[in-house]
Amino acid sequence: MPPGLAAREAAVRVIAAVLNEGRSFEAAAAKQFEDYGLEGRDRGLARLIAATVLRRQGELEAILDSYLQKPLQKQKSLLWPILLAGAAQLLFLQMPPHAAVGLAVDQARRDRQAAHFNKLVNALLRRVSREGAEALPALDGVALNIPQWLMTRWRENYGADTARKIGAASLAEAPLDISVKSDPQAWAEKLGGTVLATGSVRLAAGGRIEDMPGFSEGAWWVQDAAAALPAKLMGDVRGKSIVDLCAAPGGKTAQLVSAGAEVTALDLSPQRIERLQQNLARLGLSAETVAADAGEWAPERTFDGVLLDVPCTATGTIRRHPDILRLKRLEDIAALAEIQSRLLDQAAKLVAPGGMLLYCTCSLDAEEGERQVARFRERNAQFRLAPIKAGESGVAAEWLTARGELRTLPFHTPSLTPGHATELPTGEQDKLVGMDGFYAARLVRQS
């Protein structure tokens, strides 16, 4: 195989698995990278191409369609994913045209159903390379790439201006955030990153995580700055008993154990509990683990704290999981909200008097966040909201609701501590912006 072909073929198969078969990006990538034996840089390249297509599908299709005299059958073969991947390399990844076009043609030739379109692939991608960059700025990226139902939902929740800002931020690549066991400043210096006001260390994305200093000895783990807030908002947990009810892969469990809590980590999926155990083992941290349905689990005891990080539409994490744009549907919100309210009611039973229930979700939808908690409080009068205050754990006033719930949006950025990152040129600083959209409410049981 010519150099670079395996990475591009794997990327195209990941794109096809997501768009044609509805598979998740991570599952498809794991399978294809293994099948193609991709390592290091090739994995990174395949990932970048596939993620860019999933983010920018609308704009890429608008440009390709404008060059076609009659529409192509998009769902059937690898032809359309090959074209999307080729166009993404030319328009968004600034790859040399001879490589992007030549390797796309090679791929078409190697696929039985796409083979007789190889001349079309060549002609179309050459045209993209000549004219596409000029056509691109005239397109409305937010309107074309974000599904309409999602934009509508964001407009209803946040108003038109904020919805557009959410849309634009969701299409960007996220920086790499890590949570460190101790001494964030020293790790920031060692890794070339910056410490955020919230305590996470932020680096520009890129590079193999496993090869970075401190990974194998378990000094830190990958966790978005916003995802690191809910566990911090549980306050001083030293010596407290805490159950983390939807715990895998264990980012929040690791924070709580590191902070000195006695943690029980539960998850529905035994495979994901295994992953959590592996992650904790690497970090040299320990927790009791349980594989069970949090909606049914009824131990004969209560806990000082319960953390409930519910399964959700995850629309706050599109930057990291662009397949959400292509796979989630409006109906998913109501279906998940029903599961969340069942989990909340069961979680409430596990909280000792005076104890805390921290509910959180990486969905941007109020139905899974603000309204979910409002309904819970109507059903459970013994819980009061303990408002989160600006300044706590680096939380900015802008990320709080009037009632004191956390509501981060993808265009919010935690302040960077002065030093290395703030001295970077603007282009580099741009890679350090944003955070996942997260919602968290802190509830305390009064009796």
Catalytic annotation, residues: 362
342 versus 375: smaller Cβ distance to ligand SAM: 342
Please give the DSSP secondary-structure letter assigned to residue 87: H
Residues in the chain: 447
Q: Give the closest residue to 20 by CA, choosing from 69, 56, 57.
A: 57
**Burial class, 150, CB count within 10 angstroms (exposed 0-12 / middle 13-18 / buried 19+):** buried
In the bound complex, what is the minimum distance in angstroms from residue 314's beta carbon to ligand SAM?
7
Q: Which residues bind ligand SAM (CB under 6 A)?
A: 245-252, 266-269, 272, 293-295, 309, 311
What is the maximum span of the chain, computed from C-alpha positions, in angstroms?
A: 73
For 24, 89, 120, 345, 427, the CA distances from 111, given in Å and listed in that order, are 23, 20, 14, 52, 39
3-class DSSP string for 118-180: HHHHHHHHHHHHHHHHHHHHHCCHHHHHCCHHHHHHHHHHHCHHHHHHHHHHHCCCCCEEEEE
Residue placing its CB nearer to ligand SAM in the complex, 83 or 310? 310
Cβ-closest position to ligand SAM: 246
Instruction: Give the position of tokens 């796309």.
Output: 104
Cβ nearer to ligand SAM, comparing 81 with 437: 437
> Shortest distance, CB of residue 362 to ligand SAM, whole angstroms?
6
Report the alpha-carbon distance of residue 52 to residue 56 in Å, rounded. 6
Considering the complex, what minimum distance in angstroms separates the CB of residue 190 from ligand SAM? 24
Comparing CB distances to ligand SAM, the nearer of 190 and 342 is 342
Q: Which C-beta is closer to ligand SAM: that of 58 or that of 230? A: 230
Of 410, 387, 356, 433, nearest in space to 166 by CA: 410
Shortest CB 44 distance to ligand SAM, Å: 23
CB of 41 to ligand SAM, least distance (A): 28
Are 437 and 228 spatial neighbours (Cβ–Cβ below 8 Å)?
A: no
DSSP structural state of residue 240: -
Instruction: Report the candidate in 358, 336, 351 with the shortest Cα–Cα distance to residue 229.
Output: 358
Least distance from ligand SAM to the Cβ atom of residue 7, Å:
29
Q: Which is nearer to ligand SAM, 106 or 365 (CB)?
A: 365
